[in-house]
Amino acid sequence: MSNQHQYFGHPRGLFLLFGTELWERFSYYAMRAILVLYLTDTTMNGGLGWSTKDALDLYGIYTGLVYITPLIGGYLADNYLGQRRSILIGGALMAIGQFTLAMPADALGLGSLHTFYLGLALLICGNGLFKPNISTMVGDLYNEGDNRRDGAFTIFYMGINLGALLAGVVSGSVTNEFGWKAGFVAAGIGMLVSLVMQMTMAQSWLGDIGRVPAAKRDLAIKKSAKKEPLTKEEVDRIKVILVMSLFTIVFWAGFEQAGGLMNIYTQQYTDRMIGGFEVPAAWFQSLNPFFIITLAPVLAVLWVKLGKREPNSPMKFALAMFFLALGFLCMVGAVMEQGGDTAVKTSMLWLVGAFFFHTLGELCLSPIGLSLVTKLAPLRLASLMMGAWFGCNAIANYVAGYVGSHVGELGALAIFSGIAVTATISGVILLLFSNTLVRWMHGAENTHSTAEQIEEQQTQVA
């Protein structure tokens, strides 16, 4: 059994999933960092020459579909494929998709636009199979009530953001030197590394975890040939997932302006000169993962230091909303510095401040939310519920693209300030209803000590 081997107090399978996700996220963010810039660049420079509105509309549709297909992928994994097989199929589709984007316009005889859409479609389908299942497998490494699970998702989240940090720097540098297509090649190579790691190491590092579809495992545990109805406790816990997921829509709709409107603001209206060097706009996409890597350990220590005073999950979500609002207040400051003159380039410090606060918010919401789903979802619905969780991100990404695309009509000031106000109101609502949500969890966040849990696992293995 893979859980026999412990690294830093965690099953070693966690670190395989960490590496697999790191390179998959490198692939995703390397492509995301250049997508809108590629769409809006002139055809003479190798871009597609789209308008800002059309590019942001497509960005919203693409990122939305990337997060809604996990609903289908989660269902297929739970009932037919199993998590491991889903990850391999999804990874292969995404690698092919990235290399399709990198192909010359006439390589497939489809024309540049059709080849581009084919590449996006492969990425969307592959992501649907990959994304919900690798996150669910992290939770499967731990027994119910094991309080190492939140820490495991924080480690896992570090992998996501190490990949994203590398992506912005590599993608920005490669495209500056060799053009847009080279950026897609770099993304494809990253996906291949992820795929090879999973293919060669999963059997020895994960054992049987993720091999059997969750619905079959659930029936085996209950020793019943038919599916039983959900209990009241399970229904209440699902209600918590659904309610909390609604607030993730608000958060990610604001946060995802980073790859859309804020990316364009960086390119067109930010003074990016340091001495005689102009910082590539794509490099700013690495600020978020850089702050994740530096701030995650600080927050992890803080939660431990607080002990019994540690905020519950709904309160952490509320903090996330307030930090999101502070980040957009920084962007309001940037717009006000322009004074209505779009020829004025604003200080890059406004962007640094926005990414800093947005990252604090992300750390209070994203890993906590992933852990919460694995705690609360019934086993037979684990990947499906994770897919539903990501499905709300789909709505958020569509909203992000839709809102950002109206910057020409509403103005950046109205959009940035509107998001700040909406996030603040959402945070207040979460604070008011946090006790009710905790009650519906039926003790899922009440855990015993880590030492006791490790001792229990060692006894079970023996």
Separation of alpha carbons 328 and 24, rounded Å: 29
DSSP 101-120: HTS-TTSSSS-HHHHHHHHH
- The arithmetic mean of pLDDT across residues 38-45, rounded, is 91
Whole-prediction pTM: 0.75
* Residue 138: strand, helix, or coil: helix
* Amino acid at the residue 145: G
Find, among 83, 15, 7, the residue nearest to 379 by Cα: 83
Question: So what's the pLDDT on residue 443?
Answer: 84
At 436, list the tokens.
Answer: 């009710």
- What span, in angstroms and rounded, lies between the C-alpha atoms of 119 and 116? 5
- Listed in sequence order, the DSSP H helices in 141-179 are 148-178
Whole-number Å distance between alpha carbons of 8 and 222: 33
Contact call for residues 131 and 27 (beta carbons, < 8 A): no
Enumerate the domain spans of the chain.
13-216+230-461
Low-confidence winner among 308-312, 334-338, 377-381, 451-455 (lowest mean pLDDT): 451-455
Q: Please report which confidence band the pLDDT of residue 455 belongs to, taking 50, 70 and 90 as the band edges.
A: very low
Give, in order, the Cα–Cα distances in Å from 122 to each of 62, 114, 125, 126, 191. 11, 12, 5, 6, 13
pLDDT of 386:
87
3-class secondary-structure state, position 430? helix
Query: In this prediction, what percent of the chain has a pLDDT beyond 70?
Result: 92
- Residue 215 pLDDT: 65
The Cα–Cα gap between 415 and 432 comes to: 26
Q: 146-183, pLDDT tens digit by residue?
A: 778 777 887 888 898 899 889 988 998 999 899 999 99
Residue 458: the pLDDT is 44
CATH of 13-216+230-461, one of 3.40.50.1970, 1.20.1250.20, 3.40.50.261, 1.10.3720.10: 1.20.1250.20
